[in-house]
Structure 1
Amino acid sequence: MQQGKLALSLGPILFFWHKQQIVDFYRQMAEQPLKTVYMGETVCSRRQELKVADWIDLAHDVATSGHEVILSSQVLLESESDLKRLRKLIEQADFQVEANDLAAVRLLHAKGIPFIAGQALNIYNEQTLALMQSLGAYRWIAPVELGADRLAKMIAAVPDMTCEVFGWGKLPLAYSSRCFTARHYNLKKDSCEFKCLEHADGLLLNTREKQAFLTINGIQTMSAGYHSLLASYQQLMAIGVRYLRISPQKEYMAEVIELHQQVLDGAKKATSALSELKMHAGNVLVDGYWHGKAGINQCEGMIHAGA
């Protein structure tokens, strides 16, 4: 497959931040070397600091800086109000939509609107990828558990579907109808007191042996360590990946983006960038899934990145 340069994309904010934090964050991101910016609430329907109209207005602001902006839909729709917000996303005509639930796929397909197939759709094989393409998907975000070998086969099987890979941040692993953060505080989901606002990068969960294991983020469970594929950027390009997704975090976002771009531009070696990135990630970087191992692992390929 012909090798092409990787472009950086910014995934949607997965955590619950105050409205002004979100607005200030995207003002900063509008100045960064990003090809694509995803925006919208994807995790929890109770996170309504910004309404759909607010997200659309903010998307217009970011788009004026020359970025491609995509509106991301919510995972795990559970109510008519969730569907109402989804319909508003689909009815606006200015931005493409990242579908993170099959309800979004159905509505977009019914209207004949091309869409991005989100990571939460769990596309693990060539048949599912081809099905999503037949329904209108033109780009897809690979599940974070897919290793390099499996992903290469899927891209080769459906080469005209643009592939995007989660390349930086705490891994979004699973979603539940229950809220783990509320349970941590002995609260019910519907009266959670919006405790997620107190944990801008999620709530760390340790094992009984005091080893960092997961991050709790409302109804979402995430990795404790920060996943990084920067050491494998040449392999990503070689198998046909076109976008490397960076997931938002509260601090050091501009620095994280700059380090990635410097490596992709050939201005900095990956080994040097990873040493700096580690300082912005609590000194814990992981990449096990990419190598067909447990996701919590840090593999040798990361430590001895050659480029």
Structure 2
Amino acid sequence: MKFSLGPSLFFWPKNDVEAYYQQALNSKADIIYLGETVCSKRRELRAKDWINLAKELNSNSDKQIVLSTMALLESPAEIQTMRRLCGNGELLIEANDLSAVQMMYELNLPFVAGPAINCYNIATLKVLLRQGMSRWVMPVEVSGDWLKTLLQQAEEENIRDQFECEVFSWGYMPLAYSARCFTARSEDRPKDDCKYCCIKYPEGRKMNSREGERVFILNGIQTMSGYQYNLVNEVPEMVNMGVDIARISADNEKAFTMLDRFGNQLVTPEKYPLDGVEECNGYWHKIAGMSVA
């Protein structure tokens, strides 16, 4: 099994982003994803900056560097930006929208189908493979049993060796996207005059229920889980079912510690107690997502 560092889903200053990815070069990640996946108004780094940073990392490391595209496109300008990323000429692309899948198909280039692509069955996997998919990231809300069944079906259809399987395994889960900006709304600002306020919340804006329980995290147009998903104890099971890559989300510097911890599970598996206040693993076990099995 390999381990990946997923793209940062939050809005950070350019210097912080660059420093973070320099740390990532010295981490246990085999694969590093980077790029703006949430909102095109986050312009600390523009498309050319992401491409240049990715190429710099690629030239200074033996890790695989992957550029990620946005999950929700709302304007022709955003499509042009995505076209520029897809045509970078050097790096693998994680497509988080079907228009990116189509662009990669037209370019006759392989791509990663990101977790924002709604792929839940063998028929959809076959469609994506025909389009050129080389790696599939499972949607975050489905279970381990569901994944095991789907991978078995892929074996039976003789297509399992045509793609890698990656599982979002640690971090705040991206659950939904909207044309509205919830962070701006929380500050009583219209989306068109947001003042880029989400940069003030480097780990999103926490939203509690009336009972005081953290339910979600507001991250611009993205709604995320209030707790960090943690499948560290499921690494042996994932290996047995044939998962190729476990993804650690670039939420903060704790991601580097988690990369070490996940890697250690391949050598000396250990049962880690999960913090029910900050962590969850419910989706994997087919129970309420906020729960710990």
What TM-score, normalized to structure 1? 0.90
Whole-angstrom distance in 2 between the partners of 1:10 and 1:94: 19
Q: Which residue of 2 aligns with 1:78?
A: 74
Equivalent residue number for residue 205 of structure 1 = 207
From 281, 292, 297, the counterpart of 2:286: 292
Report the 3-state secondary structure (helix = DSSP H, G, I; strand = E; otherwise coil) of the residue aligned with 2:244.
strand
The corresponding residue for 1:62 is 57
Give the CA deviation at 1:58.
1.1
The corresponding residue for 1:226 is 228
- Figure out how many residues of one structure are paired with residues of the other and give that number: 286
Shift of 1:125: 1.1
Deviation at 1:163? 0.4
Matched AA of 1:214: F
User: For each residue in 1:255-295, what CA deviation from the matched residue of structure 2 results, as whole angstroms up to 9, or x when unmatched?
Assistant: 222222222232x6242xx56xx5xxx95210000011111
Q: Give 1:116's aligned residue.
A: 112
Alignment of 1:1-307 (within 5 A): 6-63=1-58, 64-158=60-154, 159-160=160-161, 161-266=163-268, 269-271=270-272, 274=273, 278=275, 283-299=277-293
The one-letter code sitting in structure 2 at the alignment partner of 1:132 is L
Give SS of 1:186's match.
Answer: coil
Structure 1 position 103, deviation (Å): 0.7
Which structure 2 segments of 5+ residues have no match?
155-159
Percent identity, aligned pairs only?
38
- The C-alpha deviation readout for 1:148-193, integer Å capped at 9, x for no partner, is 1111121122212210000000111010010000110110111111
Letter of the aligned partner of 1:75 in structure 2?
A: A
- Helix, strand or coil for the counterpart of 2:17? helix
**CA–CA separation in structure 2 for the residues paired with 1:43 and 1:121:** 14
Residues in 2 aligned to 1:254 and 1:109: alpha-carbon distance in whole angstroms:
34
Amino acid at match of 1:12: P
Is contact 1:31–1:65 with CA below 8 Å preserved after alignment? no
Give the counterpart letter for 1:133 in structure 2: L
Amino acid at match of 2:241: I
SS at match of 2:116: helix
Give 1:72's aligned amino acid.
S
Cα deviation, 1:41-70, whole Å, max 9, x if unaligned, reads 000110111111111121122222211001
Partners in 2 of 1:293 and 1:42 — Cα distance?
28
**Aligned equivalents of 1:91 and 1:171: distance in 2?**
28
CA offset at residue 239 of structure 1? 1.1
For residues 150 and 256 of structure 2, what CA distance do their matches in structure 1 show? Answer: 32
Kindly provide the amino acid, as one letter, of the partner of residue 288 in structure 1: G
* Cα distance in 1, alignment partners of residues 92 and 3 from structure 2: 17
Q: Give, in whole Å, the separation in 2 of the partners of 1:174 and 1:136.
A: 26
Report the AA paired with residue 80 of structure 1.
Answer: P
Contact 2:9 2:38 in 1 (8 A): yes
Partners of 2:277 and 2:254 in 1: CA distance: 14
Distance 2:236 2:262 in 1: 13
| TM-score for the superposition, normalised by structure 2 | 0.94
5+ residue gaps in structure 1?
A: 1-5, 300-307
**Contact 2:236–2:265 (Cα < 8 Å) also in 1:** no
For 1:78 and 1:205, locate their aligned partners in 2 and report how far apart those are by CA, in whole Å.
26
